[in-house]
Each structure stands twice: as C-alpha cells, then as structure tokens.
Amino acid sequence: MTTALDTRPLDLLADFPAIPAGWAYLDTAATAQKPKPVIDAITRGYGETYATVHRGVYQRSVDMTFAFEAARERVAKFLGGAAREIIFVRGATEGINLVAQCWAGTHLKAGDRILLSTLEHHSNIVPWQMVAERVGAAIDVVPLTADQRIDLDAMAAMLTPAHKLVALAHVSNVLGSVLDARRAADLAHGVGAKILLDGCQAVPRIAVDMAALDCDFYVFSGHKLYGPTGIGVLWGRYELLDAMPPYQGGGSMIDRVTFARTTYAPPPGRFEAGTPHIVGVVGLHAAIDYVDSIGLDRIHAHEMALVRQTREALSKLNSVTLFGPEDSAGIVSFAVEGVHPHDVATILDEGNVAIRAGHHCAQPLMDALGVPATARASFGVYNGADDIAALVAGIERVTRIFG
C-alpha cells in the first residue's frame, strides 16, 4: 500500500533559533540555518563526549570513534552507497579538487578532453582548468537550453571518445534547474568517460541514490544540508578510489611508514590525512537524521510550492526579469530593471529580507545570461508564505525608490 505524500506546508521555524521573528532568511543556497538537533549534537560533541578518533584505546575515544564511523554509515545510507566509498572532506570544493588531482591528474594526458556546462559553479570549473593545464587536456562546455537547463542533446552531440571526464551540477546554484543526471551518466559512459556530479544544491532538496544515478563521483557540502560548516562528502566508486593515489600525506592515511618507503591505507582512510573534523561529522549525522525525519519528498514539494508562488508574484512586476526554469528546485534568481542586484539586496535587508546578490561563483553563467549579476532568493524548510510576501513588498519598494 502506497502512502500519499503529505503536501501540507512545513511549519518548522521554531526549530531554528538563529532565525528571529520577522526575519526572512532567503539565502539557503549559500548556507542553511541549523536546527536545534544539529546544534545540540555539536554542543554535546564538544561539551560532553569529545575525544580523538581512531587512535585512543580509552573508552571515550572508542565511543567517539564509533560515533564517527556510525556517521559514515549514515551518510552511505543517505546516498545509497557503501561506507567504504564515503570520504569526509571540508566541503564539495575539496571533494572536486581531490578527484581532479588524484583521478584526473593521474589518468588524463595530452589530447584528452573534459566536459563541463555553462552553469557550473567556479568550484566545478577551476580545478579542472588547473589539471587540464598541467596535463595538456582540453575543456569543452555544454550550452543551455532555452529554459536554461544543461542541454543534454547538445552534450550527446559533443561527446567523443577523447572525453574522459564529465563534471556537472545536479542542481544549479543560480537557476535551480535540475539535471537529468541518469541520462547525463549514460551519455558519459557511452563514450567511456567518468562523470562527477556536484550535489551541493541537490541533497538538501531531492532524494539521491548512487545506484540509480549511476555516476562515478558525487560531492556535497554539509552546511547546505542544515549541518555544520567545514565538513563535506565525496562519494566515489570503490574501485576508482582504490586505484587513486592519496591527496595529502600525514597521519591516519598510512599503512606503514619507514624512511625507505611508505604504504597507504585503503579508502576511505587513504584520503583522510590528519585529525578529522570530528564534531562536524557528528553534526552532519544529526543533520541527515533531521532531514530524513521530515522527508526529502516533502521538503521538495514544499520548496517547489514556494518557488511557484514567488515566480508568480514576481512575474506580475514589469520591472523584474526571472531566470531559470519554472520548476526550479528551491531557487529563484531575478533582476530588477535599472537596479544593480547589490542595491536590491541592500534595500531588502532594510526590510529584514536576506537574499544573495552577485555572480554566485558562476561568472561564465552571468556572461551567458548577459548580466553582471543577479539577485537570488533560495528557500529552506523554515520558509513560508510570509517570507515571499516580505520579498515581494521589498522589491516593490526597490522599484519605487529607483522610479
């Protein structure tokens, strides 16, 4: 028997102590606010249960090691992978750089090609440029469709056997457009290429499963998933990770060290040199539990409803240009005619509405859109109709001020 999806609006603002009454926080795509269970887990981690992991034989260290590895198991379950495929990193940026250096840097050669898209975050552009320059590879860029999605038909036409890696955003951090990730993976694998997906904007909004997506690498940052900063995840197919050299040297990533020769631990330990962000990992576990307690299907439905309401309201303002598809996931980017996005954001802030303004670490996309920057409202589980009303009222004030 199938249970019907609960489509009632979420009412979770009380779980977020950093959001005071009357403040419309619409910058979740940059970083999510933290719910009490996550804050409590971090507080306990530092105040009651703290100890190092993987080294101590005393009971508290053993207990904290158990909690640390239990978090790895929890992440694996959340992604539909195996614990030995989960590498803890500082964030998605480090995860992408790890793959760029340890896989691409050792597998690519002069004449090979890397395929990206127009809408990628700088963190999914610059690491590939760095490795391409070093090994003599080239980069190709997939354009967007008319409704500003990654054009997979164009991608299919562009791919050749020379392409060894494809790296794409699962959800755009500017446009909110959702990639047909399985089709992208099938296209990449069709020419023998590996595919990495940037899941930063996807994992807080939609359920993901590594087997279903059939990608080779997947990255996300904990702080966008209602968890702590400074912790993120790289998932990779184990056979790929096992063949990759380490990213950094130091403690924890070794098997045996002598001055003559050092041997390395198997993944994931091989890629986790030094003392890890122990409490960050514990906080990430709590964040995943929190999100799962609500249900990603329900979160996605809630945010989609907020996007529809926002786009409908803003489309009635003649001076506002909307970017991205109608069904964008939790993100609405826009411009107000004749007003720089920074001025829009400043005036909105005077009315207790917090949005992002700028190029959003996506300057090539801004060039493609023909604008220097956009204003961006992005939603989380704590947002509701009052926040949209405050946003619209603020933009109406912007248009009055600038005439």
Query: What domains, with CATH codes, occur in the chain?
Result: 13-30+295-402 (3.90.1150.10), 39-292 (3.40.640.10)
Nearest to 139 by CA among 107, 161, 111, 102: 111
**Mean pLDDT across the stretch 8-34?**
95
When pLDDT is cut at 50, 70 and 90, the band that residue 70 belongs to is very high
Angle formed at CA 8 by CA 5 and CA 14, multiple of 5 degrees: 120
Position 55 scores a pLDDT of: 87
Q: Given 102, 200, 215, 361, which residue is catalytic?
A: 361
Cα 328 to Cα 129: distance, rounded to the nearest angstrom: 28
- Tokens in use for 269? 């330990």
Please say whether the beta carbons of 203 and 232 come within 8 A: no
* 200: annotated active-site residue: no
Give the containing element (helix H, strand E) for 376: strand 374-378
**Mean pLDDT across the stretch 123-143?**
98
Three-state DSSP at 288 gives: helix
Is the Cα dihedral 196, 198, 202, 203 positive or negative? positive
Position 9 scores a pLDDT of: 74
Model pLDDT for residues 294-348, shown as the tens digit of each residue: 999 999 999 999 999 999 999 999 999 999 999 999 999 999 999 999 999 999 9
| Radius of gyration of the chain from its Cα atoms, rounded to whole angstroms | 22
Within 8 A by CB and 6+ apart from 367, the residues are none
Strands (E) across 1-70 are located at 24-25
